[in-house]
Amino acid sequence: MNQKEMLRVGKQLLRHAKSAGATDAVVSVDTSTERSVTVRDGVQEDVTFSSSAAFSVTAMVGDKCGYANSSSFENDDLACIAKEAVLSAHEVNANEHQRLARPDEWPCSMEELPRCLALLDCDDESPNPTLKELEERAIVLDRIARQFPGISRSEGTSFGFHSNVSVLLSSNGFSIVSPSTQYSKSTTLNQNRGDAGNLRQTSLTTIAQCILCCDKRRTRLSERYLFTRLSRGTYLS
């Protein structure tokens, strides 16, 4: 689904929500592609490729707010989900603080939005890595990890890539198309403490993912950097 099609679906959902009785509505249409490869002790174990699309509708009826979502873009489901969001809004308690931001409360005008989004620096325009490229990186990282003193085996080293396009529309004219990319890598290792019956399994996933979240535009997958950071962690202490 391209961006033009996503915008068309978003506008259609807004119309459905309005005609079902919403006083205001916000719709989100998202598409994403993801690739990841996990190797374990140097051997390919898990490979994932996904391509998905989904939408959600937040409907407001006065100061009540309802929500529904779907990944089915069948025409019947578009209308049905918008209607369910409105029905949900009727059942919940009113919340006077829940309302759409007025145009004068937006952080910038619609004309300035593309420039502001670029400042958020969340889209990597470099070519998407293929599964084969991710696997090659995972094998290298897995090998480096297993060379650490005391590490007996790998429980899985993963490289992943995720790209996403989000379209957000509101009934009072807000409209945004936002692409983003994200890389991830992680490794889980077994550390042999000298006693064959007492292997200690230590997951380093969280540390690795934290580093990547901090990385900026055009993230490069630096194995050396990752392991410099990991060795400062607590798992070998």
Partner 1 sequence: MKSTDNTIDPVRYFGKLLGLDSVGMTALVKRALKGAEDGELYLERSESESVSLDDGRIESPSRSVDQGFGLRRVNRESVLYAHGNTISSRAIIRAGKELREIATAKQQYEEQETFPKPKACYAGALSPLSLAARVTVLRAIDRYARRDKAVTNVDAYLAASLVHVLIVRADGTIASDVRPMARMSVTVQCAEGGKREGASASIGGRYDYLSLIRPKVWKSEVDRAIKNAKEMLRAGPCPSGVMPVVLGPGWAGVLLHEAIGHGLEADCMWRKTTVFADLVGKRVASELVTVVDDGTLTDERGSLTIDDEGTPTERTVLIKDGILVGFMHDRQSARLLAMRPTGSGRRQSFEHRTQVRMRNTLMESGVTPPEEIIATTKRGLYMPSFGGGQVDPVTGQFVFSCELAYKIEDGKLTTPVVGATLIGNCTTVLTFVDCVGNDSKLGGAGTCGKGGQSVPVGIGQPTLRLSGGVTVGGTETSPE
Residue from 14, 17, 37, 145 binding partner 1 (CB under 8 A): 37
- From the list 4-12, 46-54, 119-127, 137-145, the region that binds partner 1 by CB under 8 A is 46-54
Contact 29, 55 (CB under 8 A): yes
**In the 3-class helix/strand/coil scheme, how is 203-235 assigned residue by residue?**
ECHHHHHHHHHHCCCCCCCCHHHHHHHHHCCCC
How near is the Cβ of 132 to partner 1 at its closest, in Å? 5
Q: For residue 112, which of 41, 201, 176 has the smallest C-alpha distance?
A: 176
CA distance 17 to 86: 7
Asked if 198 touches partner 1 (CB under 8 A), the answer is yes
Q: For residue 215, which of 178, 164, 181 has the smallest C-alpha distance?
A: 181
Asked if 42 touches partner 1 (CB under 8 A), the answer is no
How near is the Cβ of 148 to partner 1 at its closest, in Å? 19
Contact 35, 128 (CB under 8 A): yes
Looking at the Cβ atoms of 74 and 111, the one nearer to partner 1 is 74
Beta-ladder partners of 59: 25, 66
Residue from 7, 54, 140, 151 binding partner 1 (CB under 8 A): 54
How near is the Cβ of 71 to partner 1 at its closest, in Å? 4
Beta-ladder partners of 58: 26, 67
- From the list 21-29, 64-72, 162-170, 228-236, the region that binds partner 1 by CB under 8 A is 64-72
Residue from 52, 175, 228, 231 binding partner 1 (CB under 8 A): 52
**Contact residues for 26 (Cβ-Cβ < 8 A; gap 6+):** 57, 58, 100, 168, 169, 170, 171, 174
Residue from 19, 44, 172, 231 binding partner 1 (CB under 8 A): 44
Distances 39 to 69, 156, 181, 186, 222 between C-alpha atoms, Å: 35, 5, 23, 11, 17
**Interface pattern 162-181 for partner 1 (x via CB under 8 A):** --------------------
Strands 151-170 and 24-40: antiparallel
Q: How many residues bind to partner 1 according to rule CB under 8 A?
A: 41
How near is the Cβ of 48 to partner 1 at its closest, in Å? 5
Positions that interact with partner 1 (CB under 8 A): 1, 35, 37, 40, 43-54, 66-72, 77, 80-81, 84, 87-88, 91-93, 130-132, 135, 197-201
